[in-house]
Structure formats: structure tokens, C-alpha cells
Amino acid sequence: MRGTYVHFRLGVAIAEDDKAALISEWLTEVKQLRLESFPYVQDALDYIAGHRPHLVIADFERFGAAGVHGLAGLISQCGCPVILICRDISDWEREQFAILGVHAWFEGSFKLTDLSRAVDSALKRPRRIGSSDRLPVVAH
């Protein structure tokens, strides 16, 4: 009888420990997504520099004063879909999220099943191989 192999995809969560733990536990069980959690954006960026995550889920408040500019730096470095969790955001911030290519964002309270659908959609997104734009785009 053959054994089965489960590939845990790598994700990064940038959030307070309790929020990250709740999201991480649920997504690991339901989506086979292993989330490395960081309370500070810079620690997450240091981790991302040495790894290639498939997804980043971030609490927008963790960007602090850097706000949209910090988010832009994260997106340019991580090279994967970003999902944001936000408390209250302005129309301008929504526009900036769309311009930056944020995959999805959730304002206020949300259902984990809605987050799950956004994760599914993000993980199905084509990914480039390597860092060169000349390389072909392939699907997962």
C-alpha cells in the first residue's frame, strides 16, 4: 500500500501572537498551509529574504507609521500574494491596495471561511519561476 504525502505550503503571518495563532492553526488544519508568524514587519522581511513563501497574511496595523509605503516594500520583496486584515481603512487606502496588487483584504470582523476562500484563490495564482521576468509563468 502506498503512503500519501502532504505538502505543506509555506505562508507568513504578520500579526499579534493571538491573532496569528488562531489563523495559523485553522489554515494548517484546513489548507495544509504552514504559517510562520511574526509580530513585527521587519522580522517577517528578514525571514522572507531567506525563504520563498507562497502567501503572506498581514495585519495592516503592524505596518504602523509606514502604512502603505511599508506594505509596498513587503509586496516588492515577497513576490507572492498578500492578504490583509484591517480594522478601519480609508477609501484612499483601498485604492492603494488595489494599485499595489493586494490579493484580498478584510475589514473589521470576518469569517475564517471567507479567509479560506481568499487563500484558495491566492494559492491558485500563477507564480513565476526564479526572479527574471523573462522566465515563463507556470501554474501551481
The domain spans of the chain are 15-90+108-124
- Quote the CA–CA distance of 82 and 71 in Å, as a whole number: 9
- Quote the CA–CA distance of 53 and 57 in Å, as a whole number: 11
- Quote the CA–CA distance of 13 and 56 in Å, as a whole number: 6
Band (137; pLDDT cuts 50, 70, 90): very low
Q: Which pLDDT tens digit goes with each residue over 16-50?
A: 888 888 888 888 777 778 888 999 999 999 999 99
- Looking at residue 125, what is its pLDDT? 61
Percent with pLDDT over 90 in the chain: 44
Q: Which pLDDT tens digit goes with each residue over 68-126?
A: 999 999 999 998 999 999 988 899 999 999 999 999 999 988 888 898 899 989 988 65
- Quote the CA–CA distance of 2 and 47 in Å, as a whole number: 35
